[in-house]
Every structure is written in structure tokens, then in C-alpha cells.
């Protein structure tokens, strides 16, 4: 059996993946937690388990109708089974149907800057009999979801469904089929329509886009269905090769090549040219052909148009003065165009542009959020790279962020640059107790600052500090690292949380829970196990603040990773922006509602990572050892969890007393990092051997990538 059932007498068993005996204090802490009456099934201890506050760091517990605020967490919202998800094959499917298929598929996702991309995803049932709200949009669509599910706002941030207000602007997803049958997607960042098959290609799902000598690269749909943009249906071709291919098909069909068919084709084209749509189509095609001709045969073009201005001027002047010319000018000035968003008829292209900006601002708006008086089973998607996905209703929502990205750079490109990179990072990202001198725009624009006034009264004087700390690393075991995988590919990794504001919020609620326990006469084995009961005002207040703090932590990591990435791009790509090959985000101190063993429970992962099937996670070692990118195996006995790192072997004080600076220099050999007394407590020897930790949880996760640190910034 991969885990050990500890020989301790408690109402709930304790299962350990640590593969070593617990110390006396650790055993006492495990017994205290397992003795709580609301613990469900058992307590699971991960391989990195060690002493913490109230509960062991590296412990996972499921509880019924109660939660312990010593753990910081966030809930993951979900949708009812009939919610429609648009896939790149041109069809929409219910989220329940996708979950039942139990396979990977491709959805549309959106970057924080409003660029729509294609990404791989999976679906699953996440909660049974969940409470619900209905979100009504200005396009008439309705979305039924849990109150806590996060919707992507127009500025790229997120807000829970129950906190959305009428008029709130959401990130839009507009799609349509053009006259040739191709799927078009409106890009929010540019307000331009883009063909979906090129979105697939530029998302990297077809491999590198080839340059075909003497030809323009196009994308061919193998099954002749232009709206089916699954990667397996798409193929790069040269435009001339593509035309030749279609001619060969015609030659195989004599009917298509017959005089009768040709007559019908020419007649049909002539009729099409008489319509407004046909005229516009041929005008656009003719313009492209002329521009191509001008570019490819410039000498011939100059000879052909020599004297055109003189010859044509008199005819153009005469036409504009004629009755026919005046009628044509008046017709163009009064022509109406249809808004593809709301269907309104608007005069002139400029009028249509102004209408879109005024009425839609290239987004959807919330009309209302209504609580519902019934519950349903709910589902969600996992989109590892972008952590959001589009709904057929026309908006993007968050999926169920330690943070890491895989880049296209290689180790050779880092040679001689690591120290400069570290110094630039330390100058750009405050560490320890330091904070940003100025608050950048991306921080001040975070929409959840509007909710700060609703947080616990004990933190109301900390808003200014919280704003200056967003985009700062902190101290302790927080880090920023450049790593190399076994294929010499460069990874960027960082670990940070909700900073001082999150700590203060947690302490406020822990104190409240302790006061309530004292008033009720509850005799707990450890006062840090004071808890809130579901349905009480204190529970609701804690859950609300918990979600805000977790959102803060996520945005804090996003701000730092953006700065980190720009520094790497400056040194390795001359400042040119690069697209990550893979992005991984995972929380490791949090609580959420989940279904385990057929029942709804609150799962608290204190220093642990969720490892449901196909969940991506990060398990770092220490300053001088390996780290791992993993995928979860969905082990039910661990409540689908794994460790969040190697785990401490020595306390910080013991590490400082046992090791010297010479030891630190030796154990971090080959790593560009600080080597002074300020980080001695983070010496690799203070942590458990990461290889042993990984061996102990082979039944919990599979390794996707093995990383080795080559640069590390500590607080």
C-alpha cells in the first residue's frame, strides 16, 4: 500500500505518505486535527509534512459543514450541466457531455490583454447539489453557475458571479460564419475579426508555421468543412499548391469541367456581382489582386498606369457632376450597415464604428444577477495554460495560481547573463519587507479594490500598503527562479502569496474564531483549531475575505511574472515578447468545496496541491536542488492531493545554528543566488531530499518535467 495508516487512536484515521515516523509534536498535531468531530473520512499527510500552526504543513483534511481559518483558501466555482461550450470544431457542447466523454478537447481562451487563443482542456463534475445564481447578459443570454465562479472582466481581471453588478463590462466572445463558411472570431484587443483556423495555428497547435518559397502560406481544411478547425483537420499549404489541388479535383469530375457547368458558374457569378454583398466581395478581391500585381510586377504596373491621372481626371470630374454621379454619392453616404453584435442598422462605416464604441465598448455587460432557490450538480473545465475558457453565451470565465512558464529559450542563451538577470529582478521586484515605491497602472486598475471596503474592519487601514505590496515577493520560502529542464529548455518559476494583507485578514478571522470558541465554552486541543460553522455570518464573512485574498495572491504573482518575463526577454530576445510554451499555476494553502466519496465537503490543503486527474502542479525542491512539473493522478485516499514541495527538515533557527556560509556556498554551487547569512535558513540541507519526497508520492502524481535551478532570488 503506498500510504501508511498511523497507529494512533483518533475518531478519524490518519493516512501518511511521509514514509518516516512523525515526531512527538507532529503526532500530537495530527491527533488534534483527526479528533475534530467534523473531520470527514480521514486526514491525509503528504510526503513533505512538518510542523505548522494548528495543523501540520502538508496535511489535507475534508470537513463537513465547518472550516478552520488557519488555512488560507479559495473556492472554485462551476456551471450547470446544460452550459454550452464552443469548441474549435465549430460546434457547441454541454459541459456535462464534455465531462462524460473523459477526453481532451480544444476551447477558446483569452489572455489578460484580450487576445483570444486556442487551448487544450478537460471537463469534470466538480460538486453535487451546489447553490446557484443566474447571470443575465445584455445579449439576452443567461448563465447558471455557482455564486463564486469568476467571470473575466473587460480589463482582464476576474470577479465572482455574485459580486457582478448591472453594467459590469465582461470580456466578450463574438463569433460568426462568413460567406465562405469560415469561422470568424472578434479579437477584443483589436476589435478585428480573425479567421479561427489562423487562431489555431498562431496558438501553436499546428506546429511551426512554414514559409513556402514563392507562395503565400494558407491553411487547408481536409474535410472541406471550413468551420471545423480541429488541428487534425488543418494542413499548411502554399496558395498555388492549394489551387492546383482543387483543379485536380475538378479534372476528376467531368461535370464540374463541362460547358454547361461553366455557363451556370459564370451566370451565378454575374448575378452575385449585382448584389451589395457580391459587389463588396469582388471589390475586396480585386483590390487584393491589384495590390499583389503592383508589388510583384512594379515595372509593368508603372508602364500600365503612365498618364492615367491625366486621362482619367476629366472623366471623373464629369461623372461626379452628372446626375448619375450625384445619385451614387448620395447612395454611398446613406448606406446602412448591420452591427453584428446587436443587429442595429447604422448609417456609414464611420457610424457603425462609433456605434460599437458607444453601445458595446467591445464587451458584454451584466444586466442582472439573480439568486436561485434550487441546487444542481455542477461542472468545470481545466485549461492548464490560460486558466479561462469561452462560453457560447459570449463571455470568458476562470477555471479552477506557485506559477511557472516554459519558454522557447535554451540554456546556451543564459551563458554569462545570469548575474545581470538576477540583479535586474532584484531591482524590479521588491523582496522581504520591501514594497514598490510607485503603484503601476495594472495594479491600480484591479477592479477588486472596489471590494476592499467590505473586508474585515481590522484591515481597513491597510489598503495603501496592500496596493504598494502587489507585485512584491516577500520573504521566507518565497522565490523567483530560472530553471532548465532535462531538454535544456528555460523555465521561469516563482512562489509568493497574498503578502501582508492576506496574513492580516487570516489573523483577524482566526482571532474571531478563537473568541467564538471561548464564548461557547469549546475545549479544543489547540486554540488554533478554532473554526467557523457553515451558514453563520462569521463563516460567510471569512469565505468572502478568503476569496478576495486568494485573488490578490493570484494577481500579485501575475504582476511579478510579467516583470520577470520582460527581464528575461530583454536579455535573451532583445526585448521582443515571446509566447510561453506552457503555463502552470497552482495554489497550495487553501480550502475549497469538492465532492469526495460521493459527499460534498470542504477540503483544506495546508501546504499541499490539488492533484485531480490531469491537474498540472508544481513541486519545488530548494535553492540548490531539483523541482518538478507534475500531473495529478486523482488518488481518492489523498483527497486528490500531493505535496507542495520538499518540506522542511530543520526549523529556520536550527538551520542557522547547524550550517555555515561555507556550507551554503557549497550546497548552492552552480546556482546564481545570494550567498549570505540572510538566506542561510533556506540552505538546501534544511529541506527533505526532494527525490525521496517524489518517490513517496508516485501514486499521487506523474512527472511531466524535471527542472534544475540555475538562478534564484530569495526575499
Q: Residues with catalytic annotation?
A: 644
DSSP codes joined into one string, 637-694: GGTSEEESSS-BSS-HHHHHHH--HHHHHHHTTT-BS--SGGGGGG-GGGB--HHHHH
For 61, the 3-state DSSP assignment is strand
Give yes or no for a contact between 96 and 82, defined as CB atoms under 8 angstroms apart. yes
Q: Is 622 annotated as a binding residue?
A: yes
Backbone φ and ψ for 324, nearest 5 degrees, come out as -65, -40
> 605 exposed, middle or buried (CB, 10 Å; 0-12, 13-18, 19+)?
buried
Do the Cβ atoms of 429 and 468 come closer than 8 Å? no
**Is 497 annotated as contributing to ligand binding?**
no
DSSP, collapsed to helix, strand or coil, labels residue 50 as strand
647 is known to lie in a ligand binding site = yes
Q: Please check if 531 is assigned to a binding site.
A: no
What is the Cα gyration radius of the chain? 30
Q: d(Cα 633, Cα 311) in Å, to the nearest integer?
A: 77
Q: Is 466 annotated as a binding residue?
A: no
Q: Does 481 show up as a binding residue in the annotation?
A: yes
Q: How far is CA 75 from the centre of its chain?
A: 16
Q: Tell me how crowded residue 684 is: count the other CB atoms within 10 A of its CB.
A: 22
Q: Is 213 annotated as a binding residue?
A: no
Q: Is 201 annotated as a binding residue?
A: no
Residue 644 labelled as part of a binding site: yes
CA angle 354, 355, 356 (to 5 degrees): 90
- DSSP assignments along 110-166, one per residue: E-TTS-EEEEEEEEEEEEEEEEEEEEEETTS-EEEE-TTPEEEBTTS-EEEGGG--T
646 is in an annotated binding site: yes
Q: How far apart are CA 647 and CA 355, in angstroms?
A: 57
User: What is the C-alpha to C-alpha distance for residues 74 and 553, in angstroms, rounded to an integer?
Assistant: 11
Q: Is 620 annotated as a binding residue?
A: yes
| Dihedral class, residue 89 (left if φ above 0, else alpha if ψ from -120 to 50, else beta) | alpha
On whether the CB atoms of residues 613 and 642 are closer than 8 A, the answer is no
What is the rounded CA–CA span in Å between residue 685 and residue 30?
25
Nearest-angstrom CA–CA distance, 305 and 321:
24
Backbone angles phi, psi at 516, to 5 degrees: -65, -40
By DSSP bridging, strand 217-221 and strand 388-390 are unpaired
Phi/psi-derived region of residue 475, left when phi > 0, alpha when psi is between -120 and 50, beta in every other case: beta
Strand-pair category, 14-16 with 39-50: parallel
599: cell is: 459527499
User: Binding residue per annotation — 627?
Assistant: yes
- Residue 597: phi and psi, rounded to 5, are 55, 35
- 621 annotated among ligand-binding-site residues: yes
C-alpha cell at 215: 507562395
Query: The C-alpha cell of 292 is what?
Result: 499583389
Cα–Cα dist 379/374, whole Å: 16
3-state secondary structure of 262: helix
Backbone φ and ψ for 6, nearest 5 degrees, come out as -70, 140
Please tell me the distance from the alpha carbon of residue 66 to that of residue 535, in angstroms, as a whole number: 9
515 is in an annotated binding site: no
The whole-angstrom separation of Cα 481 and Cα 469 is 20
Nearest Cα to Cα of residue 483 among 412, 573, 406, 576? 406
Q: Which DSSP helix (H) or strand (E) runs through 609?
A: strand 608-610
In this structure, the chain runs to a length of 715
In 10 A of CB 48, how many CB atoms?
27
Q: What are phi and psi of 578, to 5 degrees?
A: -120, 150
Torsions phi, psi for 196 (to 5 deg): -60, -35
Q: 645: annotated binding-site residue? A: yes
- C-alpha angle with apex 132: 131 to 138, nearest 5 degrees? 170
Residues in binding site for GMP: 477-481, 588-589, 620-623, 627, 644-647, 714
Residues in binding site: 75, 477-481, 495, 588-589, 620-623, 627, 644-647, 714
Amino acid at each position: 500500500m503506498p500510504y501508511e495508516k498511523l497507529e494512533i487512536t483518533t475518531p478519524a484515521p490518519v493516512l501518511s505518505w511521509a514514509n518516516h515516523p512523525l515526531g512527538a509534536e507532529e503526532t500530537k498535531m495530527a491527533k488534534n486535527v483527526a479528533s475534530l468531530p467534523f473531520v470527514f473520512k480521514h486526514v491525509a499527510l503528504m510526503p513533505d509534512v512538518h510542523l505548522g500552526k494548528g495543523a501540520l504543513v502538508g496535511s489535507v483534511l475534508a470537513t463537513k459543514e465547518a472550516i478552520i481559518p488557519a488555512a488560507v483558501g479559495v473556492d472554485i466555482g462551476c456551471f450547470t450541466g446544460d452550459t454550452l461550450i464552443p469548441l474549435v470544431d465549430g460546434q457547441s457542447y454541454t459541459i456535462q457531455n464534455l465531462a462524460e466523454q473523459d477526453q481532451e478537447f480544444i476551447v477558446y481562451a483569452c489572455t489578460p490583454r484580450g487576445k483570444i487563443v486556442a487551448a487544450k482542456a478537460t471537463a469534470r463534475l466538480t460538486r453535487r447539489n451546489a447553490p446557484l445564481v443566474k447571470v443575465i447578459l445584455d445579449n439576452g443570454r443567461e448563465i447558471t453557475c455557482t455564486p463564486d465562479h469568476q467571470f473575466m472582466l473587460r480589463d482582464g481581471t476576474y470577479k465572482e458571479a455574485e459580486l457582478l453588478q448591472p453594467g459590469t463590462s465582461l470580456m466578450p466572445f463574438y463569433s460568426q460564419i462568413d460567406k465562405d463558411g469560415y469561422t470568424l472570431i472578434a479579437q477584443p484587443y483589436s476589435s478585428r475579426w480573425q479567421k479561427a483556423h489562423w487562431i489555431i495555428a498562431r496558438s501553436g497547435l499546428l506546429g511551426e508555421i512554414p514559409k513556402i518559397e514563392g507562395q503565400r502560406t494558407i491553411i487547408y481544411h481536409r474535410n472541406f468543412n471550413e468551420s471545423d478547425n480541429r488541428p487534425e483537420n488543418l494542413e499548411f499549404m502554399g496558395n498555388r499548391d492549394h489551387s492546383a489541388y482543387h483543379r485536380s479535383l475538378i479534372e476528376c469530375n467531368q461535370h464540374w469541367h463541362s460547358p454547361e457547368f461553366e455557363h451556370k458558374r459564370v451566370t451565378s457569378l454575374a448575378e452575385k456581382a449585382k448584389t451589395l454583398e457580391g459587389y463588396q466581395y469582388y471589390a475586396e478581391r480585386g483590390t487584393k489582386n491589384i495590390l499583389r500585381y503592383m508589388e510583384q510586377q512594379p515595372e509593368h504596373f508603372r508602364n500600365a498606369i503612365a498618364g492615367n491621372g491625366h486621362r482619367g481626371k476629366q472623366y471623373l470630374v464629369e461623372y461626379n457632376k452628372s446626375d448619375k454621379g450625384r445619385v451614387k454619392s448620395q447612395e454611398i453616404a446613406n448606406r446602412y450597415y448591420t452591427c453584428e453584435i446587436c443587429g442595429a442598422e447604422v448609417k456609414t462605416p464611420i457610424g457603425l464604428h462609433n456605434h460599437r464604441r458607444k453601445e458595446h465598448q467591445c464587451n458584454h455587460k451584466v444586466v442582472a444577477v439573480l439568486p436561485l432557490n434550487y441546487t444542481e450538480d455542477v461542472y468545470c473545465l481545466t485549461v492548464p495554460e490560460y486558466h479561462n475558457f469561452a462560453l457560447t453565451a459570449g463571455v470568458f470565465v476562470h477555471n479552477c495560481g506557485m506559477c511557472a512558464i516554459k519558454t522557447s529559450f535554451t540554456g546556451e542563451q543564459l551563458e554569462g547573463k545570469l548575474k545581470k538577470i538576477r540583479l535586474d529582478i532584484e531591482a524590479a521586484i521588491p523582496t522581504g519587507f520591501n514594497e514598490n515605491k510607485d503603484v503601476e497602472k495594472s495594479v491600480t486598475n484591479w477592479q477588486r479594490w472596489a471590494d476592499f471596503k467590505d473586508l474585515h474592519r481590522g484591515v481597513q487601514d491597510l489598503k495603501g500598503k496592500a496596493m504598494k505590496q502587489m507585485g512584491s515577493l516577500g520573504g521566507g520560502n518565497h522565490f523567483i527562479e530560472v530553471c532548465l529542464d532535462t531538454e535544456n529548455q528555460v523555465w521561469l518559476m516563482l512562489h509568493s502569496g497574498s503578502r501582508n494583507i492576506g496574513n492580516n485578514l487570516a489573523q483577524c478571522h482566526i482571532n474571531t474564531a478563537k473568541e467564538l470558541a471561548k464564548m461557547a465554552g469549546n475545549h479544543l486541543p489547540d486554540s488554533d483549531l478554532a473554526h467557523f460553522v457553515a451558514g453563520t455570518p462569521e463563516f460567510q464573512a471569512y469565505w468572502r475575505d478568503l476569496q478576495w485574498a486568494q485573488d490578490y495572491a493570484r494577481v500579485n504573482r501575475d504582476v511579478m511574472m510579467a516583470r520577470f518575463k520582460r527581464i528575461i526577454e530583454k536579455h535573451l530576445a532583445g526585448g521582443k515578447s515571446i509566447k510561453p510554451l506552457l503555463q502552470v499555476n497552482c495554489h497550495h494553502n487553501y480550502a475549497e468545496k469538492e465532492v469526495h466519496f460521493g459527499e460534498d465537503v470542504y477540503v483544506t490543503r495546508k501546504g499541499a496541491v490539488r492533484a485531480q486527474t490531469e491537474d498540472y502542479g508544481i513541486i519545488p525542491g530548494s535553492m540548490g536542488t531539483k523541482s518538478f512539473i507534475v500531473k495529478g493522478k486523482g488518488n481518492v485516499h489523498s483527497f486528490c492531493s500531493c505535496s507542495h514541495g520538499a518540506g522542511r527538515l530543520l526549523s529556520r533557527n536550527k538551520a542557522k545554528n547547524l550550517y555555515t556560509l561555507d556550507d551554503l556556498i557549497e550546497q548552492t554551487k552552480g546556482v546564481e543566488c545570494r550567498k549570505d547569512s540572510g538566506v542561510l535558513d533556506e540552505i538546501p540541507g534544511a529541506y527533505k531530499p526532494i527525490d525521496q519526497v517524489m518517490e513517496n508520492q508516485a501514486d499521487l502524481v506523474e512527472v511531466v518535467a524535471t527542472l534544475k535551478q540555475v538562478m534564484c532570488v530569495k526575499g
